Amino acid sequence: MNICVIGTGYVGLVTGACFADFGVNVTCVDKDGEKIKKLNHGEIPIYEPGLKEIVDKNLREKRLFFTTDINESIRKSLVIFIAVGTPPRGDGRADLSYIEDVSRAIAENLNGYKVIVTKSTVPVGTGKLIEKIISEERRQGHLFDVASNPEFLREGSAVEDFMRPDRVVIGARNEQAIAILRDLYTPLYLIETPFVVTGLETSELIKYASNAFLALKISFINEIANVCEKAGADVHVVAKAMGLDRRIGPKFLHPGPGYGGSCLPKDTAALLNIAKGVNYDFKLMDAVMAVNLNQRKLMLVKIKDAVGKLKGKTIGVLGLTFKPNTDDVRESPAIDIINGLIKEGAIVRAYDPAGMKNAASLIADKAIYCKDSYEAAEGSDCLVIATEWNQFRILDMERVKSLLKRPVVVDLRNVYEPDAMRKMGFEYKSVGR
Ligand code: UGA
């Protein structure tokens, strides 16, 4: 089968590469010529474990192609995945202009039956909009179906998530489209991945509801952590015991500085907007977002409590990305916290294994970028762990202590054991313990 994936961002690139690895002929399309040139040489524009290997392999085996030619790619494909961005507009709603442009290109190049599938997260009603544009603008009367097949990839484990998902969701109005998509996913069918086949709008909403629920779990455990701190309880034991109840589940109950990234913050805001659009006051979603923002502020207060006045103090910060194993710093709590520190007159010595380049434009000019964790600790009044990269879990703490001006560690990801840290002579603060 020939398919194409339009948009080689995160979702598009992983989707294209993984389908090629399933044995399908995949053309990935992007209007950014430079990016396509690099991809054709196996240069991956994002940091994603395992992705380069499958891109290289499928380029070599001639099942994966990269091009800027959207027209030809559409004409030769039976299935067209749309994976272009839907950035938030000023009013909080998603900008659908890229989706509209692609729909017009599909209408112009419709030369036989095709299934058009939205893959990136799109507002409820987008499938209907695509149907309308193609129906109105197609030149010949060729048939087509629109489907929704939301992606549940996590950055940092996107390839693994694609190859072994918890479920595949397909939303469509027509049996033929569903059968073609099932066919594409045969390898997952064979490993007994659950398939949820439903209507277009339901499928579109499943993605928002899933991400919003994850955000809710995080905000919930962060509030429990805040209560634990005041009540003298340990949030980790609380979360563990809660998680043993299968109705609750153990995942996404890790406290910290709040959720970030390009998905949860955007999708919670979008769901709130979707609700507003249908005249529903989604109070819980509002609270989830407010708690998340407040959590970042509380982290700043925690650092302040540990070092006293921030003005003139030097703070080493480990971790800039919104989570480990990515170079993505979008909506990263670490960035807000660093900017807060700098605003209050602190000097920041920052280090991240992958995110320093991306972070530089988002952080106030004054930050000092270090070559490793120890350089960030050197001469600092306090060391803050803002992202739980594995290398921050195995620091030589005696060395860190000897480098710090004062032995103060504020661990926003609860990587270290409070008792062990105190025994080593650190003044140690974490979240909810
Ligand atoms: C999220 C979802 O997990 C994916 O299922 C979804 O496909 C993706 O969004 C998307 O919509 O494309 P991602 O943004 O890559 O994936 O990252 P997560 O692993 O969900 O982490 C999000 C944030 O929550 C991070 O800042 C992380 O540090 C934080 N988090 C996560 C916590 O603070 N506590 C937890 O227990 C878990």
Query: What domains can be seen in the chain, in order of their start residue?
Result: 2-198 (3.40.50.720), 208-288 (1.10.1040.10), 295-429 (3.40.50.720)
Cα 363 from Cα 371, distance rounded (Å)? 17
Return the pLDDT at 214. Answer: 98
Residue nearest to atom 17 of ligand 1 (CA): 154
Q: Choose the residue to mutate in 149, 205, 214, 268 for probing ligand 1, maximizing ligand atoms within 8 Å of C-beta.
A: 214
Cα 158 from Cα 164, distance rounded (Å)? 10
**Per-residue pLDDT averaged across 45-66, rounded?**
95
Residue nearest to atom 29 of ligand 1 (CA): 259
Q: Token pair 């990263």 is at which residue?
A: 332
Q: What are the CA-CA distances from residue 406 to residues 60, 399, 430 (Å)?
A: 54, 13, 17
Q: Report which ligand 1 atom has the smallest distance to the Cα of 218.
A: 34
- Closest by Cα among 328, 309, 312, 333 to 431: 333
- d(CA 326, ligand 1 centre) in Å: 12
* Residues 152/196, Cβ–Cβ less than 8 Å: no
Cα 253 from Cα 248, distance rounded (Å)? 10
The half-sphere exposure of 137 on its side-chain side, counting CA atoms within 13 A, is 16
Active site (catalytic) residues:
263
* Residues 382/361, Cβ–Cβ less than 8 Å: no
Q: Which residues contact 402 (CB under 8 A, 6 or more apart)?
A: none
The pLDDT of residue 154 is above 80: yes
Residue nearest to atom 23 of ligand 1 (CA): 259
Q: Report which ligand 1 atom has the smallest distance to the Cα of 251.
A: 36
Cα 414 from Cα 430, distance rounded (Å)? 6
Residues in the chain: 433
Entry pTM: 0.95
Q: Choose the residue to mutate in 167, 236, 264 for probing ligand 1, maximizing ligand atoms within 8 Å of C-beta.
A: 264
Helices 283-307 and 333-343 pack at an angle, to 10 degrees, of: 50
**Pair of tokens at residue 86:** 């839907």
- d(CA 341, ligand 1 centre) in Å: 25
Q: How many degrees, rounded to 5, is the angle at CA 69 between CA 5 and CA 80?
A: 25
**Residue 47: pLDDT band by 50, 70, 90 thresholds?**
confident
**Per-residue pLDDT averaged across 339-350, rounded?**
97
- d(CA 259, ligand 1 centre) in Å: 7
Strands 368-369 and 114-118, bridge-based pairing = unpaired
The pLDDT of residue 90 is above 80: no
Q: Report which ligand 1 atom has the smallest distance to the Cα of 222.
A: 33
Return the pLDDT at 93. Answer: 78
- d(CA 264, ligand 1 centre) in Å: 7
Return the pLDDT at 87. Answer: 84
User: How confident is the model over 314-329, as pLDDT tens digits?
Assistant: 999 999 999 999 999 9
**Residue 348: pLDDT band by 50, 70, 90 thresholds?**
very high
**Pair of tokens at residue 197:** 């086949």
| Gyration radius (Cα) of the chain, Å | 24
Cα 174 from Cα 144, distance rounded (Å)? 10
Q: What is the pLDDT of the chain when averaged over all its residues?
A: 96
Q: Choose the residue to mutate in 320, 323, 331, 392 for probing ligand 1, maximizing ligand atoms within 8 Å of C-beta.
A: 323
DSSP states along 33-95 = HHHHHHHHTT--SS--TTHHHHHHHHHHTT-EEEES-HHHHHHT-SEEEE-----B-TTSSB-
Q: Report which ligand 1 atom has the smallest distance to the Cα of 388.
A: 28
- Closest by Cα among 273, 365, 367, 277 to 320: 367
- Give the residues surrounding ligand 1 with Cβ less than 6 Å away: 121, 151-155, 211, 214, 218, 252-254, 256, 259-261, 263-264, 322-323
Q: Report which ligand 1 atom has the smallest distance to the Cα of 256.
A: 33
Helices (H), 165-263: 175-184, 186-190, 200-231, 235-243
- d(CA 207, ligand 1 centre) in Å: 13
Return the pLDDT at 415. Answer: 98
The pLDDT of residue 292 is above 80: yes
Cα 323 from Cα 317, distance rounded (Å)? 14
- d(CA 115, ligand 1 centre) in Å: 30
Return the pLDDT at 139. Answer: 83
Q: Token pair 């634990």 is at which residue?
A: 228
**Per-residue pLDDT averaged across 101-122, rounded?**
96
